[in-house]
Amino acid sequence: MLALPLLLAACVPTQPLVKPAPTPTPPAALALPAIYRPAAFAELPGWADDRADLAWPALLVGCERLAAMPAVAGVWQATCDAATALGAVDAPRARAFFEAHFSVWQVTAADGGVTGLATGYYEPLVNGARAPSATFATPLYAPPDDLLTVDLASLYPELAGKRVRGRVDGRKVVPYWTRADIEARRAPLDGKALVYIDDPVDAFFLEIQGSGRVKLDDGSVVRVGYADQNGQPFRSVARVLIDRGELTADRASMQSIRAWGVAHPDKLPALLDENPSYVFFREVPAPAPGTLEAAIDGPIGALGVPLAAERTIAVDPRAIPLGAPVYIATTRPLSDTPLDRLVLAQDTGGAIRGAVRADFFWGFGAGAGREAGRMKQPLRVWLLWPRDAGVPRVDAPAS
């Protein structure tokens, strides 16, 4: 999932961390950009009062996915089998289950920093149509046929997990077209438009979020999700406006950027083109009625399961194993009010880099968007790891 901090703060993917004295590191964790310090449930702020049962559906649907992934299934099988056998639970039973089946590890940065950054993202609703018109003129494209993805590990095993995107130009592979090129129709995208949006800023924000719902002009609604990206680096348009002196850092938000676009419609295309990154989409079918996926009713995250509102986060999968329960201690946007709760690490994002880093999924709609757009809070993180699995490890990207 491409997350909101890309828009608001993304010139720097991670923020400076507080640096207390380093803690001892288990040998198995040294290869990771994180340190795992043994901890206890009693150390988790607000654990005794958290509604752990609200994270239970996310755990169950995540278990279904983890069971189908050979690289990690063995780590999760016993714990997930026990969770599935319980079925529905209330808060005390959910809390008791986690305490019985998981050990707690505080996550710190490789330099020993325990405090990082929490941002937010959401699932927007935009207006669109299947056919272009004067009203609906901004396309959302499926991936083009000439977009190449090169897995570098096939050439250099030490680069496992690293991939680049490009296109063929003669006998060379070159970078794929930039946003400005795509908007100028240089890329071969005929027939690739899924829908057309009535507002280019909405389409741009939809790329930042990575998924959303499109209300079509006939009244129906389709869901779209991230399919691929052009491989170009992201540049924050908020940072562009700040550097120009047209926004101040403390007022840089999704809402303020939208207001700038309304005030400067003639300059808006050039501003958006300052970000060469471009996201391609796919249509996401509705889940079958009566299923756990339908009950959660969220966009599909990087793990391949729907994201539960206010109970899932995007993480750096090099540091937090995708699919794992995580306890976060942060605060609500623009306040000191604690936001301490159990969540599931079921998504990733382009700006989510670092061990103590999370993008909190607020859910669907304008209210969730307001919270997400204002969230830039201090964060501490604890990983809950199956009790019999030893020291936490990241075996492979969960994809």
For 108, 283, 394, the CA distances from 289, given in Å and listed in that order, are: 41, 18, 34
Tokens 């505080």 locate to 106
Number of domains in the chain: 1
With a CB cutoff of 8 Å and minimum separation 6, the contacts of 95 are 47, 48, 50, 52
- For residue 213, give the nearest of 227, 226, 223, 198 by alpha carbon: 223
Q: What pLDDT shows up at residue 161? A: 62
CA separation for the pair 50, 394 (Å, rounded): 27
Give bridge partners of residue 214 from the DSSP assignment: 126, 222
Q: What pLDDT shows up at residue 29? A: 35
In the chain, what is the straight-line distance between the N-terminal and C-terminal CA atoms, in Å?
A: 13
141 inside domain? no
25 inside domain? yes
CATH number of the domain that 105 lies in? 2.40.40.10
- For residue 345, give the nearest of 284, 280, 397 by alpha carbon: 397
Asked whether the predicted pLDDT for residue 394 surpasses 90, the reply is: no
277 inside domain? no
Q: What pLDDT shows up at residue 398? A: 39
319 inside domain? yes
Give the angle 361-316-149 at the CA atoms, nearest 5°.
Answer: 105
43 inside domain? yes
261 inside domain? no
Residue 157: pLDDT band by 50, 70, 90 thresholds? confident
pTM comes to 0.84
Return the higher-pLDDT residue of 27 and 166: 166
Condensed to tens digits (0 to 9), the pLDDT of residues 215-254 reads 999 999 999 999 999 999 999 999 999 999 999 988 888 8
Write out the residue range of the structural domain in which residue 292 sits: 5-121+287-389
Residue 116: pLDDT band by 50, 70, 90 thresholds? very high
Asked whether the predicted pLDDT for residue 349 surpasses 50, the reply is: yes
Condensed to tens digits (0 to 9), the pLDDT of residues 49-76 reads 999 999 999 999 999 999 999 989 999 9
180 inside domain? no
195 inside domain? no
For 149, 210, 353, the CA distances from 300, given in Å and listed in that order, are: 21, 10, 20
